[in-house]
Structure formats: C-alpha cells, structure tokens
Amino acid sequence: MAIKVGINGFGRIGRMVLRAAIKDFPEIEVVAINDLLEPSYLAYMFKYDSVHGRFHGDVAVDGNTLVVNGKKIRLTAIKNPAELKWDEAGADVVIECTGIFLTKESCQAHLDAGAKKIVQSAPCKDDTPMFVYGVNTASTTPFTRARTLFLPLPAPPTHWRRWPKC
C-alpha cells in the first residue's frame, strides 16, 4: 500500500520531493500539491529545473491537475493550510516545504485539514524534535516514531554526473 503524500510549497525542496518520490520511492504516491503560483508555471519549473536538470518524463497540466507520467496530482493555490482539505485529496502525510510554517502551532493547521502526519523540510523554530534519517533515528522513542515519518531524501547534487547512485 502506497504512502499518500501532499506537498505544501512547490519550490526547490517541493520539486525535489516529487522527483525523489517518482524516481526512487515507488511506495510514495504524491496526490496533491499546494502552491500559490500558476499551474502552468509549476509544471514548467518541475520539467526544467535549473539545479536538478530536465525531468525526463511527461509533464502536463489539465486544469488544476498536474499530470506526471500519466499520474494525476491535484493542484491547489490556497494560502491558509487549514483550508487545504488534505483528507479529500487522500493525503495521509503532508510535507511542509514552504519554509513558513515552522512551529507545532502553525503546522497544526495541516492536521486540522485532514493530514495524519507532517514532515517539515526546514528546521523548526520551537521545541519540535528534528530527525535525520540514519543519523539519530535509532534514538527515537516509540512515541516519536508513532508521530514522525522518516523520509530519506537525497541531498541535491551540484552536478548529476558526479553524484553517486545510493
């Protein structure tokens, strides 16, 4: 069974999350993306990324849907995360990639909108514990493992040809 993920913020990190999910993590299915930019621009930036290079797959926009390799991903442009309706999109986990919502209180809006778990892509500004996959994940307690998703994402390479395959 796939882990259904929603991405809030489709900038550099959000696009990398989608690329990694498509290329390296078949058990992750991205079902929704929220970003305030136009859908056609989001598709263009995903297809022709200035750091990660060109995406070698099919990318298209159909209304408010991003179609990547035939897979439909719901697009929204909602500023307030409490209005995102992650449960209607089918997203169990939300990856917060805006860099704006960095506290438990601000991320609570995603839970109120139907997400079951949240992964923050930036360091938190409160006492929320930070986990680095493979570094300090063995020291977690059953309580933190129950409410934290460990998502091992590759660091963005400076040049694809010199980046070893993990």
Q: Where are the domains of the chain?
A: 3-162
Strands (E), 16-162: 28-34, 48-49, 53-54, 59-61, 65-68, 71-76, 93-96, 117-120
pLDDT confidence bin for 146, thresholds 50/70/90: very low
Give 83-119 pLDDT, tens digit per residue. Answer: 999 999 999 999 999 988 888 888 889 999 999 998 8
* 53 vs 46: CA distance, rounded Å: 9
Per CATH, the architecture of 3-162 is what? 3-Layer(aba) Sandwich (3.40)
* 19 vs 84: CA distance, rounded Å: 22
Percent of the chain with pLDDT over 70: 81
What mean pLDDT is predicted for residues 151-166? 50
User: Would you say the pTM of this structure is higher than 0.75?
Assistant: yes
Residue 38 CB partners (closer than 8 Å, separation 6+)? none
Cα angle value 75/81/86 (rounded, 5°): 55
Cα angle value 62/110/104 (rounded, 5°): 145
Token couple for 4 = 């259904």
* 86 vs 12: CA distance, rounded Å: 22
pLDDT confidence bin for 140, thresholds 50/70/90: low
* 29 vs 26: CA distance, rounded Å: 7
